[in-house]
């Protein structure tokens, strides 16, 4: 049933069009006296489980079914208005306490027979319990039984934790990116040897420095001659 870490889906029990509960011609549902939810105008008579959980109610006249979901929601599905189904109108495939998965077949209704008896087949899907700290987001338009969601239940506390976690991850990600950017923009410091070699090459490339270099070489040579002569005279004595 879960979509992610803060919401869960109530899947379409029948194929048809999702409408607001106010469209149900019964004030108990239209005015949400039993709980919030949506309604479906069905296209065919096959009904499926909208959730993972257990069957909690099978009405004796087969017009209503209840489910307790794995995460504690109480779901009621009511088909028809002021209707009491006869055996030739409905075949039920579950009983109370049966374990069901979303998409399991629950019942089959004879829509032609319902129409003949002038029974409005609109179905109310109500969440009667377990909504504390939660809100619902109803779907709209056409849905396919067993796959499309008729409403999503949002756990507000879990949503707040999720959003805080996402914010922390974004902040950490931005900080890491800024660190990488700073490191890549920082100029690479040359070693002393590399720096000296680079300076020497730049000195030699400038021809204006050549007389200085030659003069220095001559002076160094003269100095070496003086030193050798002095050493020779010292040894001779």
Q: Who has greater pLDDT, 53 or 161? A: 53
pLDDT digits (tens, 9 = 90+) for 198-223: 666 666 666 666 666 666 666 667 66
* pLDDT at res. 221: 73
* pLDDT at res. 122: 94
Residue 226 pLDDT exceeds 60: yes
Q: What is the pTM of this model?
A: 0.67
Closest by alpha carbon to 78, among 120, 15, 131?
A: 120
**DSSP labels, 20-72:** -GGGSSSHHHHTTSS-EEEEEEESSSEEE-SSSEEEEEE-TTSSEEEEEETTS
- Tell me if residue 178 falls in helix, strand or coil: helix
Half-sphere CA count of 63, side-chain side, radius 13 A: 17
Residue 85 pLDDT exceeds 80: no
* pLDDT at res. 168: 75
Known catalytic residues?
78
pLDDT band at 185 (very low <50, low <70, confident <90, very high): low
* pLDDT at res. 61: 84
């Amino acid at each position: 049933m879960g979509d992610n870490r803060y919401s869960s889906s109530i899947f379409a029990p029948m194929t048809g069009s999702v409408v607001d509960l106010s469209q149900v011609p019964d004030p108990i549902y239209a005015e949400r006296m039993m709980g919030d939810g949506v309604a479906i105008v069905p296209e065919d008579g096959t009904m499926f489980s909208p959730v993972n959980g257990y069957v909690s109610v099978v009405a004796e006249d087969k017009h209503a079914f209840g489910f307790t979901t794995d995460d504690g929601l109480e779901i009621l599905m009511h088909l028809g208005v002021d209707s009491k189904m006869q055996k030739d109108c409905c075949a039920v495939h579950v009983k109370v306490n049966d374990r069901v998965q979303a998409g399991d077949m629950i019942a089959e209704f004879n829509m032609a027979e319902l129409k003949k008896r002038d029974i409005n087949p609109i179905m109310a899907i109500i969440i009667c319990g377990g909504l504390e700290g939660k809100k619902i987001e109803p779907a709209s338009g056409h849905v396919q039984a067993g796959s499309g969601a008729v409403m999503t239940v949002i756990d507000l506390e879990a949503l707040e934790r999720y959003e805080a976690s996402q914010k922390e991850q974004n902040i950490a990600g931005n900080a890491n990116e800024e660190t990488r950017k700073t490191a890549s923009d920082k100029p690479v410091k040359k070693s002393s040897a590399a720096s000296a070699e680079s300076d020497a090459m730049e000195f030699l490339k400038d021809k204006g420095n050549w007389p200085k270099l030659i003069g220095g070489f001559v002076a160094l040579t003269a100095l070496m001659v003086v030193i050798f002569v002095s050493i020779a005279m010292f040894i001779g004595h």
